[in-house]
Every structure is written in C-alpha cells, then in structure tokens.
Homo-oligomer: A and B are copies of this chain.
Amino acid sequence: MKYFIVVFILLTSQASAQIPKLYNHIANDVHSIYSRVLHQDRQIYINVPKLDSADVNKSLPVLYLLDGENHFHILSAYIEYLRHWKIIPPILVVGIVSVDRIKDLTPINSLINFDGEVSSNYKTSGGNEQFLNFIQQELIPYIEANYKTSPFKIFAGHSFGGLTAINCMLTRPDMFSAYIAISPSLWFGNKYILRLAGQKLPNLAMTNKKLFYSVGNEDGTFRNDLLKFDKLVTQNNSKTFKHQYKYYPNEDHMTEPIPAYYDALRFVYKNWTNDDTK
C-alpha cells in the first residue's frame, strides 16, 4: 500500500521536466465489418491500450463488450487507468455497437414485456443464436487477425446484454474465459434462460472459467431471479470455477453498470500480477 503511494509520488513528480504523456486517451477507432451471418454492416468500437515499452510485445487479452455505444468509454477508461497502475494487464476493448438489440440480445421470440403484457417492441426478438454465430465466426477471427491477442477473452453485457453473456456461457462455455452479466434480464421469455441454467449449469464444464453477475435495485423479479441463478452457479462442481455475485442496493438499472463493471474487472483480475501473461 505504502508502495503505491510512494510510486505515485515519484512517478508523477518526475513529470516536472516535460509535458506528461496523456496515457489515457481513448482511441475511438470505429471499424465497420460486413457480417455474412447477419447480412448487415456492424460497427465495432475498439480501444487499443497504449503499451509501455516493457509490454509492447505482449499478447493482449480481449474484452468483448455488448451495447458498446453505452459502456465502451467507461470500460476503456477503467482499463487504461488500472493497467497504467499495473492492477490489471493492458486489455483490448471491443465494443459491439447495437443495431437491433431486442433482436440480437434475446434467445427466443417472445412478445411479453417486463410488465407481463404483450408488446410490439419485442417483435424482432429471438436472434441471439445468429448474433453469437457472428461473434464466434466473424468478429473474433477479425480481431485475432488484426491484433496480437492472447487466448484470454472476456464477454460482458448489461440487461439484455447480461442475458446474452449468460446464454453464451450456457450454450458455448468454451467461447470465453470470463463472463460478466450486469443485471441480466432473466425475466425475458418466461424466464427462458433461467430455466436453461437450471438444466445446464450444475454440470457445465467451467474449469478455469470466471463469472461475475450483479443486480441493482430494480423493480420486479430482477433480484429474485438472479438469486435463483446464484444458487445454480454455486451447485456447479467445477473446482476451478470462480464466480462472484454482487448486489447494489443504491444503484438503479442504468447506474449499476458504473460500479459493477469496475468490480467485475477487479474480480476477473483478482490476484493478477504484472508477470502474468493473461
């Protein structure tokens, strides 16, 4: 602890001779990818971490983030700051910009809304399988062809994005190394994903995987559903499966991602040291 304070003072006082490099500019690169799977152009928001000379040859873990237009900057800012202070490694952030999130981020077609009523807002729902195909078959290969990446991949989402992260973990557990689900909309489709978790999760091969899931003070069944999910997670028999549930009583559905994504990053990189290659 004292080490950090001293290093902070020394590092920053050395800046007196020159204008300090503003290490934490966010790149704001927007890539446009035509997806044959989805038959549409997709915008991808990429932040390449500024590497110290010691790190320049290292392979980068990658964070694939849903709802990129919402949370990309907060996560990129966290990552640039934390890796600068060597609390986590440099991470490539890939923010997937939403086009029709109702379609892409829901596992089945269901018109029933949060209040249990039929709503035309959900008429496109049910495209999650195709969307995960796009990520697996097109986006990940694109990123791995264009950047020097490590095998360690994180998949993160909020709300329907959190639902998607859990669906991906249940149906394609090997696709990512760590999953982050902030307030997943487990209510959707008569709790389809919660039921799927009940079937799959206790025996899912989660060796060396990590999972963070959280909920705020939302109305309805958000918290109860996640507590049921938590029970299923703790029944999983993979001994090296690390998981954390967190509840934010003072945060609502839209503010919760701010503290939760920070806590999720710290959880995924708990006990990480600068010598780690992950």
Contacts and interface: CB of A to CB of B under 8 A. Distances in A.
Interface in A1-36: 1-2, 4-6, 8-10, 12-13, 15-16, 19-26, 28, 30
Given A13-B102, A98-B12, A121-B13, A69 B5 contact: no
A101 interface: yes
Interface residues of A, number: 65
A69 B13 contact: no
A217 interface: yes
A70 interface: yes
Given A99-B19, A258-B78, A1 B73 contact: no
Q: Which of A21, A70, A121, A220 lies at the interface centre, i.e. has the most chain B CB atoms within 10 A of its CB? A: A70
Contacts of A13: 100-102, 121
A159 B70 CA distance: 30
B121 A24 contact: no
A259 to B, nearest CB: 6
Given A23-B69, A69-B22, A114 B5 contact: yes
A103 interface: yes
A219 B22 contact: no
A97 interface: yes
Nearest to A43: B19
Q: Which of A13, A45, A114, A252 lies at the interface centre, i.e. has the most chain B CB atoms within 10 A of its CB? A: A13
A96 B118 CA distance: 52
Interface of A: 1-2, 4-6, 8-10, 12-13, 15-16, 19-26, 28, 30, 43, 45, 67-74, 76-78, 80-82, 85, 87, 97-103, 113-115, 121, 124, 159, 217-220, 252-255, 258-259, 262, 266
